[in-house]
Amino acid sequence: MMFNDLISDASKAAPMKIYDWPTGPYPARVRIALAEKKLRSPVEFVPINLWKGEHKKVDFLSKNYSGTLPVLELEGGTFLAECTAITVYLDALEGAPILTGRTPYEKGVIHMMTKRAEIEMLDAISVYFHHATPGLGPDVELYQNQEWGLRQREKALRGMHYFDAVLRKQDFIAGDFFSMADITVIGGFIFAAIVELAIPQECEALLAWFMKMQERESVRQQLEVISNN
Amino acid sequence: MMFNDLISDASKAAPMKIYDWPTGPYPARVRIALAEKKLRSPVEFVPINLWKGEHKKVDFLSKNYSGTLPVLELEGGTFLAECTAITVYLDALEGAPILTGRTPYEKGVIHMMTKRAEIEMLDAISVYFHHATPGLGPDVELYQNQEWGLRQREKALRGMHYFDAVLRKQDFIAGDFFSMADITVIGGFIFAAIVELAIPQECEALLAWFMKMQERESVRQQLEVISNN
């Protein structure tokens, strides 16, 4: 990081606290967005231990009713949950690159492709993990529906083929520039690695895109954090 | 609608086509947003018959891979799916009221509460409908997971209590003004009526809020469309 970046960091945003878990696929989405926006330095990370189910305990549920990570705490004591909401917030602060679009058209397409990346890949893999594998262990996974989990695994594999088809026609998930939608599919790759769900070899455009994504400092750093933990 | 509104309508937006089903809870979200933004007049609605499963057929899937309604077709031939994405698009065109927030804080909170309204109420009721009731009938519901559906019903009931608690502290779902998040909970009420899932009587703030919502022209009109079909 260059000195100029550090200066703009300090002036840019008030202190923020992020409750997350450093290797989690959803936390990765916000960490990558923070790095892209050069907003990591005003952030203090507070670990919530997923493997101990801390995200399902009363104290954390008062921060986020849905019991998911990450959560951003703003200076006034507001808790902001949901990766898309946090990314929209960060993106609306000053600073390039814009991750959620400039024009109505860009905003619409990026939000659509982000949601689609969740439904068809990232969330589907998450449901597979929590329902059809040991997940976070018997103390945390109090209810599992294996059949539903296995259906979601198949859905995610179909989703990979869909995104491969998208990337045969354009360079990024939502068009011709990097956006929140790419970050969401990267989250899908991170979760796929955790559950050992291989990206099908025939998804050549998708695999080539992921290689290209790793050239970005924001993505490379987060993948290093994950492989070092 | 006053004459001035009609003039601003005509100048505001290029022709749009929306594929939807007039009584659907998700289509209602976009129809209410359109009415709020005074953008209904440049829109042509194309019915996709849910009860015949037209939204799961190849022709429609080429418009929206996820096979859900509504879809907005823009002049250039782009198909925009997902209610939040469509609402963000419409909101970014000129015109009041702003449904997705003005400041970073407002945008973040509105997106969070919209997503939470989906996860904890609207989407949960949808899964209940498609998995633990006859749903759209045997020709459309090719796979059902009743146990999962019933769990989602319970989740939706808990969600209603959560939103009731929110509305005991503030006038609207995402704070002190009407937004996309309110529209999403209204979608939840519409779906709850379809599946005959009563809002618990003790959710007094939630029920009072829904009464107040029906004073809005946009909401009242859409509820009339639904009850007349």
Tell me the per-residue pLDDT of A26-41, one tens digit each, with 9 for 90 and over: 999 999 999 999 999 8
For B89, the closest of A85, A104, A162 (CB atoms) is A104
Report the gap between the CA of A2 and the closest CA in chain B (Å). 26
Residue B82's pLDDT is what?
Answer: 98
For A88, the closest of B78, B107, B151 (CB atoms) is B107
Give me the mean pLDDT over the A45-51 stretch.
97
Report the gap between the CA of B3 and the closest CA in chain A (Å). 26
Which is nearest to B199 in space by CA: B170, B229, B159? B159
Residues of chain A with C-beta less than 8 angstroms from the C-beta of B105? 74, 78, 89
What ipTM does the predicted assembly reach?
Answer: 0.94
Residue B2's pLDDT is what?
Answer: 42
Report the gap between the CA of A226 and the closest CA in chain B (Å). 26
Between residues A4 and A34, the one the model is more confident about: A34
A147–B145 C-beta distance less than 8 A: yes
pLDDT tens digits for chain B (229 residues)?
A: 344 444 444 445 678 999 999 999 999 999 999 999 999 988 999 999 999 999 999 999 999 999 999 999 998 889 999 999 999 999 999 889 999 999 999 999 999 999 999 999 999 999 999 999 999 999 999 999 999 999 999 999 999 999 999 999 999 999 999 999 999 999 999 999 999 999 999 999 999 999 999 999 999 999 999 999 8
Q: Dihedral, CA atoms, A64, A70, A74, A75, nearest 10 degrees?
A: 100
A151–B147 C-beta distance less than 8 A: no
Our CA angle for B99, B102, B104, nearest 5°, is 120
Distances in Å between the Cα of A70 and the Cα atoms of A45, A204, A218, B70, B221 are 10, 31, 17, 30, 38
Which is nearest to A126 in space by CA: A66, A192, A53? A192
Residues of chain A with C-beta less than 8 angstroms from the C-beta of B145? 145, 147-148, 151
Question: Chain B residue with minimal CA distance to A90?
Answer: B104
Whole-number Å distance between alpha carbons of A204 and B172: 47
Residue A75's pLDDT is what?
Answer: 84
Residues of chain A with C-beta less than 8 angstroms from the C-beta of B162? 65
How many CB atoms neighbour CB A69 within 10 A? Answer: 22
Residue A14's pLDDT is what?
Answer: 76
A104–B93 C-beta distance less than 8 A: yes
Our CA angle for A222, A133, B134, nearest 5°, is 110
Whole-structure pTM value:
0.94
For chains A and B, count residue pairs whose Cβ atoms are closer than 8 Å. Answer: 97
